[in-house]
Amino acid sequence: MPRASIFVTCIVDQLYPKVGMAMVDVLERIGWQVDFPERQTCCGQPAFNTGYRDEARTVARHFLDVFRDAEYIVVPSGSCTSMIAHHYAELFQNEPEWLALTHRLEPRIWEFSKFLLEVARVEDVGARLERVATFHDSCHGLRELGIKEGPRRLLARVQGLSLREMDAAEECCGFGGTFSVKFPEISGGMARTKIDSIQRTGADLVVGIDVSCLLQIQGALSRAGLPVGTMHLAEVLACR
């Protein structure tokens, strides 16, 4: 049985463990053995994005150390995947050993939907969910990893699910890590623009590939008292 290591990300670990479990379910269902290296914590992105490069490097080294021998690393987040695959190299440009390890791991890091389609090569995972959903393109997945059609293809195979496009699918939800608390009014305003667009679709569910965006969208939906739910792609695919 092929084997994949998962990096669940700190936010899934602490806030959305169900998403991690759903990802495990789906991977096992399609015949992969899942390994969860227990020393994993965070990829370092919060520090990197806030300008704390030394701190980011410290945490990134820990990540590289934990996963140094993994063959496939599957991540339920476009943002964290991109951090590792695109920004570690910048962090370690002056540290040849860590840079070499980074380059070794770069091709082994897979965002969940990309892993399903490009490595496991499955589109239909046998999921079923009776909902009207709309898909939110998370920025780093879309613009740094080129993830656009993939999740939609996977969702199209979910029985009972109907998918409606938002007019502002590609517009940022306003999360942006520490941006969301450094500039709460701007971030909140962006979230409200997003949920306006969500509402125009008439969907009762927002699906995404990053729980950080979903946290923002879900929080704004709840504040506005709107009966629209949010689910990570893995959770949708785990339904049957």
Partner 1 sequence: MTGAQEQKIRQTLDDANLQLAIYTATGRLMSHRKAAVAEDVLPDFQELRTQANLLKRHAIENLDHYLEQFESQVVAHGGKVIYARDGAEASEFLIDLAKKKGARLMVKSKSMTTEEIDLNERLERQGIEPVETDLGEYIMQLAHERPYHIVAPALHLTRYDVADLFTRKLGVERETEIEKQTKIARAVLRQKFLAADIGISGANFLVADSGAVVIVTNEGNGRMATTLPRIHVAIAGIEKVIPRAQDLAVFLKILARSANGQHITVYTSFLAGPRREGEIDGPEEFYVVLLDNGRTRLLADREKRQSLYCIRCGACLNHCPVYRKVGGHSYPGVYGGPIGAIITPQYLGVTHDPWLPFASSLCGACAEVCPVKIEIPKLLLALRSEVVQAKLRDTQSRIERLSFRVWAWAMRRPRIYEMLGFMGSALLGGEGWIRRLPKLLSHGPLGAWLSQRDLPRLPARSFRQLWRARRKAGEN
d(CA 100, CA 170): 34
Order of strands, edge to edge, in the sheet holding 109-111? Answer: 33-35, 3-6, 73-75, 109-111
Q: If binding is defined by CB under 8 A, does position 193 make contact with partner 1?
A: yes
Q: If binding is defined by CB under 8 A, does position 166 make contact with partner 1?
A: no
Stretch that binds partner 1, among 43-51, 123-131, 147-155, 158-166 (CB under 8 A): 43-51
Q: If binding is defined by CB under 8 A, does position 169 make contact with partner 1?
A: no
d(CA 227, CA 25): 27
Give the amino acid at 234. Answer: A
Q: If binding is defined by CB under 8 A, does position 93 make contact with partner 1?
A: no
Q: If binding is defined by CB under 8 A, does position 30 make contact with partner 1?
A: no
* In the block, residue with structure tokens 């994005």: 49
Q: If binding is defined by CB under 8 A, does position 162 make contact with partner 1?
A: no
Identified binder of partner 1 from the candidate list 78, 150, 151, 176, rule CB under 8 A? 176
Nearer to partner 1, 30 or 66 (CB): 66
Give the amino acid at 171. Answer: E
* Burial degree of 48 (CB within 10 A; 0-12, 13-18, 19+): buried
Q: If binding is defined by CB under 8 A, does position 207 make contact with partner 1?
A: no
- Are the beta carbons of 138 and 208 closer than 8 angstroms? yes
Q: Which residues in this chain contact partner 1 in the complex, by CB under 8 A? A: 8, 10, 12-18, 20-21, 24, 36, 38-42, 44, 46-56, 58-59, 61-62, 139-140, 143-144, 170-172, 174-191, 193, 215-216, 218-220, 222-223
